[in-house]
Amino acid sequence: MNNAQDNYTTLATSVAVLKQAVQSYGLDFDAISLKADIPPSTVYEPGSRLPVNKVQKIWKEAYRQTKDDAFGLTYASYFQPAVLHGLGLAWLASSTLKDSLNRLVRYQRVISTLCHFSMNENKDSYCIVFDHQPLNTELEYISTDAAICSFFKMCRISMGPQVAPASVTMKRPKPSCRDRFDTFFGIKVAFDSQCNSIVLDKKYMETVQPAANAELARMNDQVVIDYLRKLNSDDIEVQVQSTLIEQLPSGVPNQKDTASALNMSIRNLQRRLHERGSSFKQLLNKTREELAVYYLKGSEKPIIEIGFLLGYVDASNFARAFRRWQGVSPQQYRKDQYQKDHSVAHHA
């Protein structure tokens, strides 16, 4: 019987970072990689993916040979945004760290089909939880450490070294070198916890990022969406949303054209969406709303132009739809976001 991990994959570029980390200890990564049945050259193939079960063998051997309980911190020291494919650049170009994390949650399958990230809003903070799909075996602690620490490094790359978490919890047992983790996060980490999480204050999450660029973020979103389309050839919702994003600037997409673009009949499209508890209309509205928010928050495009980009021929129709989604007009939403962003930036 195959282990559940046989069905999960991760970006090969993340293993390229693992190679750097392993070699920093003077170890032979190629020998370890071959032992895990992963040809060393594959870690540098752009966009390629590797089976999680095989990659975990590398993590296990890396820990056995280094005997370093904080190996995940070493991994994070080599981690860079480009590792995350287009998602890394979209993260940096997002208007706020909150927007970056929303992208992480939305497009997380790019990084790994095993991992599951979620973000919960509290009164004064956001809690980011790191989890994974059910498995028959546990992941190596150091691989989970690497994911959490690399995530936090991304936060500091985008917002600067002043970013400090309100709390950090890890399910793993307390390491012998816990002071290295406390130093890295700038706070005492709670080990042997119920979940892996990082809590960040809203003052960090809602401050305008230095490299914010809505157009650049949207361009990289498209790179990610195109990649997910290939990765999720069996995920009908991803397929439909990808097609809608391409069709919207030319007018309101219909089911016939969308089904045709996906090489299927309208009946088959409806059936597959119904099986996912979704519908064409729901996905169309969801896609339009997400794009409208992106444009209004991070670009100077006239509202009438945004409406056209979303398939509306009349600005009043766009305004009515947006008010239905967000409870305010597009003009008021943009004004509120502008005032909010500048208020947060002023007090940061």
pLDDT, tens digit, 9 for 90 and up, residues 323-339: 999 999 999 998 887 77
Does the pLDDT value for residue 76 go beyond 60?
yes
Per-residue confidence (pLDDT) for residue 338, from 0 to 100: 72
DSSP helix/strand/coil, 114: coil
Cα distance between residue 292 and residue 309, in whole Å: 9
Structure tokens given for 344? 């947060």
Query: For 211-230, what is the mean pLDDT?
Result: 80
Which tokens hold the place of 1?
């019987």
In whole numbers, what is the pLDDT of the chain averaged over residues? Answer: 88
pLDDT above 70: residue 123: yes
Higher pLDDT, 249 or 254: 254
Q: pLDDT at position 1, please? A: 39
Mean pLDDT of the region 148-176? 95
Spatial distance between the Cα atoms of 292 and 313, rounded to a whole number of angstroms = 15
% residues pLDDT > 90 (the chain): 55
341 pLDDT higher than 60: no
The predicted pLDDT at position 343 comes to 56
> Coil, strand, or helix at residue 134?
coil
In angstroms and rounded to an integer, the radius of gyration of the C-alpha atoms of the chain is 22
Is the pLDDT assigned to residue 122 strictly greater than 90? no
DSSP H stretches of helix in 43-117: 52-66, 71-78, 86-93, 97-106
CA-CA-CA-CA torsion for 6, 7, 12, 14, nearest 10 degrees?
A: -90
DSSP string of 137-148, one letter each residue: SPPPHHHHHHHH
Residue 220: which pLDDT band, with cuts at 50, 70 and 90? confident
CATH entry 3.90.1520.10 includes domain 4-205: yes
Query: β-strand 9-11 against 115-121: which pairing, if any?
Result: unpaired
Q: How far apart are the first and last CA of the chain?
A: 54
Q: What are phi and psi of 117, to 5 degrees?
A: -105, 145
- Outline which parts of the chain fall under CATH 3.90.1520.10: 4-205
**Is the confidence at residue 47, as pLDDT, over 80?**
no
Question: Is the torsion defined by CA of 167, 172, 176, 177 positive or negative?
Answer: negative
User: Is residue 132 within a helix (H) or strand (E), and if so which, with residue range?
Assistant: strand 125-132
- Overall average pLDDT of the 61-85 stretch: 95
**pLDDT, position 234:** 65
CB 225 within 8 A of CB 242: yes
Q: What is residue 218's predicted lDDT score, i.e. its pLDDT?
A: 81
pLDDT band at 204 (very low <50, low <70, confident <90, very high): very high
CA 215 to chain centre: 18
- Beta-carbon neighbour count of residue 331 at 10 Å? 12
- Residue extent(s) of CATH 1.10.10.60 domains in the chain: 232-347
CATH architecture of 232-347: Orthogonal Bundle (1.10)
Predicted TM-score (pTM) above 0.85: no
pLDDT at 310 over 70: yes
Q: Tokens representing 321? A: 């739809």
Mean pLDDT confidence for 122-145: 89
